[in-house]
Amino acid sequence: MKNYLISSLIVLLLFCLVPPNSFSAGNGAQNKKEKGYERSFFKDTLMINYFLWGGRILYVRNKDSKIFDTSLKKWGDNITNPEWNDGDSFLTNYVYHPYFGALYYQVYRDLGYKKEEAYLGTLIQSTLWEFTIEG
């Protein structure tokens, strides 16, 4: 119960850090064309990652798992010596991963980014997920 409370407080803190004007009504592509409106790929990528971390913190299969047992060294090891067999099932690797990759792409397109930019954002988000959040 204590871990759940700490996780909830961290997620709440992350959402409090997101500026309220980050979520605008209407079509992202339409907003991008408005005078004086400029999107920041870096900021949008960080915001999407906030939500990924929030979801990861709230949904932990094993509630006794040490989700906060992370460090820069562990992240570096995940990148330099990746474990290619991560223990995920066929369904996870061939259904869920492509599905969520398509969702990442759609989020960037809805924010008004071009196809190439959305592809780059999807690549970044998938890589960050595999080597930091899931790793």
Q: Greatest CA span in the chain, whole angstroms?
A: 50
Q: Cα(first)–Cα(last) distance of the chain, in Å?
A: 24
Compute the average pLDDT of residues 39-58: 81
Report CA torsion sign: 91, 97, 103, 105.
negative
Q: Which two tokens stand for residue 114?
A: 């071009």
Q: What does the pLDDT read at residue 16?
A: 55
Residue of higher predicted confidence among 112 and 72: 112
Backbone angles phi, psi at 134, to 5 degrees: -80, -30
What is the three-class DSSP state of 79?
A: helix
Given a cut of 80, whether residue 56 has pLDDT beyond it is: no
pTM score over 0.75: no
Q: Is the pLDDT of residue 63 over 60?
A: no
| Separation between Cα atoms, residue 1 and residue 64, nearest integer Å | 10
Instruction: Calculate the average pLDDT of the chain.
Output: 72
CA distance 63 to 45: 28
What is the rounded CA–CA span in Å between residue 99 and residue 42? Answer: 23
Instruction: Return the higher-pLDDT residue of 117 and 32.
Output: 117
Higher pLDDT, 68 or 43: 43
Q: Which 3 state secondary structure label does DSSP give 134?
A: coil
Confidence of residue 131 (pLDDT cuts 50, 70, 90): confident
* pLDDT given for residue 48 in this prediction: 86
